[in-house]
Every structure is written in structure tokens, then in C-alpha cells.
Amino acid sequence: MSRKTLPVAAPRSAPALTLQLVAPELWDRTVAQFDDICREQLEVFAKAHRPGAQYDPVLFWLGGELVGGVLMAIEPLPLRLGRRAMAASGPMQPRSDRPDRMDVYRAMIDALVAEYAVKRGFLFSVQPRAAVCAFNAEYDHLVHRGFSPGREREPTEHYLVDLGLSDDERRASLVPTWRSELRSSERAGLSFEEAPASRFAEFAALRERMPEGERPDHHSGYDAMPALLALDNERLRPELFFVRHLGEVIAGAIVFKAGDRAVYLHGASSDKALPLRAGYFMQWNIIRWLRDRTTARWYDLGGAGGSSGLRQFKAGLVGEAGAIQPAPPEASYAVRWLPRAANALFGRSIAGD
């Protein structure tokens, strides 16, 4: 594995980085301890979810210190107009509290522009993560760096739960209706359990009994769950949870728990779950489990998919202490006219999942 220093046209405040392409089998293991780690940046997830793409696992070094990484997905553009290199929820950094975090981010973006847009002539696209505050510094930098914002899509809000609260503090932060529903669920005789990955078939069977409109589609990444749950790395392997009533499993959830932001991936339930308020009971106990068993600072409930009921449920759980922030649009950069034309013509249809 060789390192090469790229000709990065960086601002004065941006450090000079060295870029390293690593062997695919080393990627997930190397970035497992990153604070910014997410499922989209795991090769095992990416290959299962988007098997037609090629992947470049890239690390960034500042002297002898590993300061970042990104898994670049490379795919052809429509009509053979070139290729696109996509950074989904990246680039990442090992430490989310690094004082010069944005300087490092700017330098990583400059290095990727030099490699993929300038040297290789690709359309280079970045999908930043939703911020936990109103200002998304990463997306703001991309726009000022000359990236073209993606076409408008339906807004996707991320519901972010603060995991740093005690049980009493969290109950106080809940909206009154959510708190009332939680009390009802706690009187219903429900039980919560952490389950091994080997019980995924049980979750899948529960999901199959749900109405078709309530199941996640291809873009949800559900097709990659078997590969993720088969990971040997306990930190990266998602957690599986179930709720029982009178011995019967009536609800389940899959949660990504690595890094400083845990993410609710998928849920399933039987028709008995709703009247027993099993969703309230399950999410309350997932939050307590994440707080006590992981290093995560936030729990991302994802979006609401246009459902007013789901929006009300998630907003009530976020409560006064959490945050509701939009996912920024994708941003793209090209220096050659063919990929620029492809982005102008097909920007929405080639947007990342």
C-alpha cells in the first residue's frame, strides 16, 4: 500500500494531506473506530447495496497521523458521458471533536477534487450527513468551493435524539402525548430484549407480514442487512432488538450503533404492536441501551417518509433536548464538459441512494 501526495490547491488554513488507497479487506477494519463511521461508508454495505459500482477505499494522513477516510463509489454516467465518483456521508474523520476539523475537511475535499475531478475527469459528488445544528458547515463549504447543489428533492428531515440524558431528564423532555403513550406501553406487560444476529430470519418473517406499503424499498438498504449482520466486527455489526408480549415477538428493530451517531435502520411489527404501543416501548429502551452500552452521542431516527403520524411520533421522541435537521442535497463538481453536461441533464436521476 503506497502513499502519494496530491497537488492540492488548498487555502492557507488547510493542512497538506497525503492520500492512501488501501486494500478493500483492510478498509472496514481501519475505519471501525472513526467517530464519523456510518453504514454507507462500509464496504460490506456498499457492495451489497450497490453491487454494480467500483470502490476506492481512501485514507488521509497528516504526517504520521490518520485524520480521515472515504469510500468512493465509482459508477458510469448515463449515455456514456463519463464516470461519477460519489462520497456518500463522507469523507469521515476519526475524531468528531477535533479542533481543526473543518480545516481537515476542506483539505480532504481539495484532495478528492484533485484526484477525481481534475486528474481522472470524473463528476465528483458528495452527500454530507445531516448536521445536528441549523448550520451545516460541510455543505456550506462545498457550495462556496464551487460545487453545484443537487436539484430540489422532497425534504428529508433527520430526527436526532440526544443520548446524554438520564431517564428522568428524557421523560421530562418528551412531549406530553409521547410520555402518556410510553406509560401505557409500560403497563401493557411488554418485554424488551437484545437479540443475536442469528435471529434475523425472525425479524424478516415479522417484516414480511407487514402491509406492503409499510415495508422499506430498495433505497432503504434493507437488501444489505444480511451482509452487515454477518460482520465479525462487533462494533460495526448492527444490533437487533425485539419486543415481546405474552411470550410472542410483536416488534423488532435493527440499529447501527458504531461511532458517535447511532442510526435506526429498519423496523418490523405485527398487528398486535400498535394497540399495545410497542413502538414507544421499543424506542425508549433502545435509547437507554445505546446510552449505557455505546459511545454514541446521538441517535438518528431517520426521516418520516411523508407520514404525518410517523413525523409526530419521531418529533415527540426527540423532544426538547434533541434536534430535527434536514438532510442537505447532494453537491457535485466537474472540470470537464461531458460530466458537467451529464450533471446538468441527469442530476436528479443519478443522485445517490
Convert the pLDDT of each residue in 330-348 to its tens digit. Answer: 999 999 988 888 888 766 5
CATH code of 158-325, in short, is 3.40.630.30
Convert the pLDDT of each residue in 223-269 to its tens digit. Answer: 999 999 999 999 999 999 999 999 999 999 999 999 999 999 999 99
CA–CA distance, 246 with 255 (Å, rounded to integer):
24
Say how many C-beta atoms besides its own lie within 10 A of residue 130's C-beta.
22
Which residue from 46, 74, 7 is spatially nearest to 350, judged by alpha carbons?
Answer: 74
CA–CA distance, 88 with 48 (Å, rounded to integer):
15
Q: Which residues contact 225 (CB under 8 A, 6 or more apart)?
A: 200, 238, 254, 265, 266
Q: Show me where the domains of the chain are located.
A: 3-154+328-346, 158-325
Structure letter (DSSP) for residue 41: G
Say how many C-beta atoms besides its own lie within 10 A of residue 324's C-beta.
15
pLDDT in tens, the chain (353 residues): 444 434 344 444 567 899 999 998 899 999 999 999 999 999 999 998 888 899 999 999 999 999 999 999 999 998 888 999 999 999 999 999 999 999 999 999 999 999 999 999 999 999 999 999 999 999 999 999 999 987 655 558 899 999 999 999 999 999 999 999 999 999 999 999 999 999 999 999 999 998 865 665 545 789 999 999 999 999 999 999 999 999 999 999 999 999 999 999 999 999 999 999 999 999 999 999 999 999 999 999 998 877 888 999 999 999 999 999 999 999 999 999 888 888 887 665 444 44
Hunting for cell 442469528 — which residue is that?
198
What's the topology of domain 3-154+328-346? Aminopeptidase (3.40.630)
Beta strands in the chain (DSSP E): 3-4, 18-21, 54-62, 65-76, 83-88, 123-127, 148-149, 157-162, 190-195, 239-245, 248-256, 261-269, 298-300, 323-326, 331-333
Hunting for cell 448492527 — which residue is that?
238
Angle formed by the axes of helices 101-112 and 137-144, to 10°? 40
CA–CA distance, 208 with 276 (Å, rounded to integer):
20
CB 57 within 8 A of CB 43: yes
Helix (H, G, I), strand (E, B) or coil at 249: strand
